[in-house]
Amino acid sequence: MPLLVKEYSWRQTENVVVIRVPLKGVHYRKAYFHPFLFEVFLFSSVKEPQSKCTLVDDEIVFELQKVEHASWDDLEANLSKVEQQEMRKKILERAQEKAKAEQERKRVKKAELDRLAVRQQISIDTHHRQLIEEIKENVKKTAIKEIEEWKVSNQREENKDHVDQEVVPFQKTASVNKPTPTVEPDENVKPIPFPRNFGIVKVHFTARDFPTPKRESQAQEEEEWLKKQAEARRRVGFMTEDLSPEELDPVWLKDKGDNFFKVGNYLGAVSAYSHAISIGSKMPALYSNRAAAHMALGNLHKTVEDCSTALELLMPCVEMNCMSRARCHVRRGIALCRLGMVREGIGELEAAVALRPDDEKLRLDLEKARALVEADELE
């Protein structure tokens, strides 16, 4: 049980109250010394943020800023034990709420700083890639220019050699009529050929499921691993060799994926939609429905990607695909909000509301997202 400290002194001005509590027999410089406890129910309210506590050699000094600029009749308020207990309870509850609020504020600030750091890192990486591409492009232009200059210089040298090797005709002089000796070209000297035209050599590699080169010592292990993967895919979806001709129809696969989605088999739904897409189908509904299945599985980045592809396939924007485009905007907006990009998500939800202004559910989702942004800005 703590022992209340009653030996203290205090003084006041109209603005400040100073309390001095002696630390007799205490060998450690700490504000709390067990089992002693200093507790005072002040006569009036004070400003906690502006007040301070100072620990000196043999005493603790409290400098409390008054809320109202006036003199107090006494340091402590005249309260009964019941009133003191109620006040102590309220003060503890207020301190706990303040600590929770401070902890939440720090958590939100840390999350915002993390997102800012990620955005800055992405910006730095993008800038570095642009610099590398510019350097590559400059080197490429310089190399092409040097090759062109070399071609022109080589052509001039070759034309000069051809002129020197031509036969000189007979010439007549005014005094002596005798033939001028001819200069025969040297058969051993061959003209320099033109440089060959450059081209692109295409190399085709054998299809392989592994990124490493094929080795006979690992062939059996790789074959066994592929069989296990095929068996795992059969459990959650389809294999091409297992499908009948009608099961290769994208429309049939879409209906199959929809049935999987309705019964909660989201992995099977993703597999059905993905197989329909892999055989060359460009149906926007396949990407839109697969986005819904990915969202149910928590794959938010894939949800955003499939919704974007579906919106590209739903061009041009006409009345017939208005509902499909609204669904894509809604799913992409919800996924962006869950990823922490609330502002971008609000833009998607606003686009969906513009397409379906009579949908009350969309308006409610939009209001909730806006409330989140406003709360974040207030904090």
Q: What pLDDT score does 104 carry?
A: 92
Q: How far apart are CA 51 and CA 61, in angstroms?
A: 11
Q: Is residue 180 situated within a structural domain? A: no
> What is the token pair recorded at 206?
């054998």
Q: How far apart are CA 376 and CA 146, in angstroms?
A: 58
Neighbouring CB atoms inside 10 A of 17's CB total 22
Domain end position, chosen among 119, 150, 181 = 150
The three-state DSSP-derived secondary structure of 48-117 is EEEEEEEECCCEEEEEEEECCCCCCCCCECCCCHHHHHHHHHHHHHHHHHHHHHHHHHHHHHHHHHHHHH
| pLDDT tens column, 300-344 | 899 999 999 998 988 888 888 888 888 888 888 888 888 888 888
> What is the token pair recorded at 122?
């992405």
Read out DSSP for 332-366? HHHHHHHTT-HHHHHHHHHHHHHH-TT-HHHHHHH
Same domain, 370 and 261: yes
State the residue for tokens 């061009």: 315
Q: How far apart are CA 22 and CA 255, in angstroms?
A: 82
pLDDT for residue 379 is more than 60: no
Same domain, 325 and 366: yes
Same domain, 103 and 118: yes
Give the residue-averaged pLDDT of 170-194.
56
Same domain, 33 and 72: yes
Q: How far apart are CA 53 and CA 19, in angstroms?
A: 9
Give the residue-averaged pLDDT of 153-167.
69
Burial grade of 246 (CB within 10 A; 0-12, 13-18, 19 or more): exposed
pLDDT grade for 51, boundaries at 50, 70 and 90 = confident
Same domain, 145 and 265: no
Find out whether 324 and 309 touch, Cβ atoms under 8 Å: no
For position 38, which CATH number holds? 2.60.40.790
For position 291, which CATH number holds? 1.25.40.10
Give the residue-averaged pLDDT of 2-12.
73
Q: Which residue has the higher pLDDT, 19 or 25?
A: 19
Same domain, 260 and 365: yes
Respond yes or no on whether the N-terminal peptide bond of residue 185 is cis (omega within 30° of 0): no
CA end-to-end distance (rounded Å), the chain: 41
Respond yes or no on whether the N-terminal peptide bond of residue 35 is cis (omega within 30° of 0): yes
| pLDDT tens column, 65-121 | 888 888 887 877 777 888 878 888 888 888 888 889 989 999 999 999 999 999 999
Same domain, 58 and 100: no
Average pLDDT for the chain = 78
| pLDDT tens column, 257-301 | 899 999 999 998 998 888 888 877 688 889 999 999 998 898 889
Q: Is residue 216 situated within a structural domain? A: no
Q: How far apart are CA 265 and CA 118, in angstroms?
A: 34
Give the residue-averaged pLDDT of 29-57.
71
Same domain, 146 and 268: no
**Helix 284-297 and helix 322-338: axis angle, to 10°?**
30
Q: Is residue 214 situated within a structural domain? A: no
pLDDT above 90 coverage of the chain, percent = 17
Q: Is residue 226 situated within a structural domain? A: no
**In 3D, which of 72, 74, 51, 61 has the Cα closest to residue 20?**
61
Question: Where do runs of H (alpha helix) occur along the chain?
Answer: 81-164, 219-236, 250-262, 266-278, 284-297, 300-313, 322-338, 342-355, 360-378
Q: Is residue 160 situated within a structural domain? A: no
Q: Is residue 71 situated within a structural domain? A: yes
Element housing 47 (H / E): strand 46-55
Same domain, 269 and 313: yes
Domain count for the chain, please give it.
Answer: 3
| pLDDT tens column, 196-252 | 777 788 888 777 777 778 888 888 888 888 888 777 766 655 555 666 666 678 888
Q: Which residue has the higher pLDDT, 115 or 34?
A: 115
Domain end position, chosen among 125, 150, 175 = 150
Q: What pLDDT score does 52 carry?
A: 84
Same domain, 10 and 131: no
Give the residue-averaged pLDDT of 7-32.
71
> What is the token pair recorded at 229?
């993967």
State the residue for tokens 């400003």: 47
Q: What pLDDT score does 188 carry?
A: 65
Q: Which residue has the higher pLDDT, 19 or 188?
A: 19
Q: What pLDDT score does 29 carry?
A: 40
Same domain, 36 and 103: no
> What is the token pair recorded at 260?
């999987």
| pLDDT tens column, 351-370 | 888 888 777 777 776 777 66
Q: Is residue 191 situated within a structural domain? A: no
Q: What pLDDT score does 28 carry?
A: 42
Domain end position, chosen among 96, 120, 150 = 150
Q: What pLDDT score does 136 carry?
A: 92
Q: Is residue 183 situated within a structural domain? A: no
Q: Which 3 state secondary structure label does DSSP give 146? A: helix
Same domain, 363 and 339: yes
pLDDT grade for 134, boundaries at 50, 70 and 90 = very high
Q: Domain containing 54: what range?
A: 3-78
Q: How far apart are CA 3 and CA 25, in angstroms?
A: 14
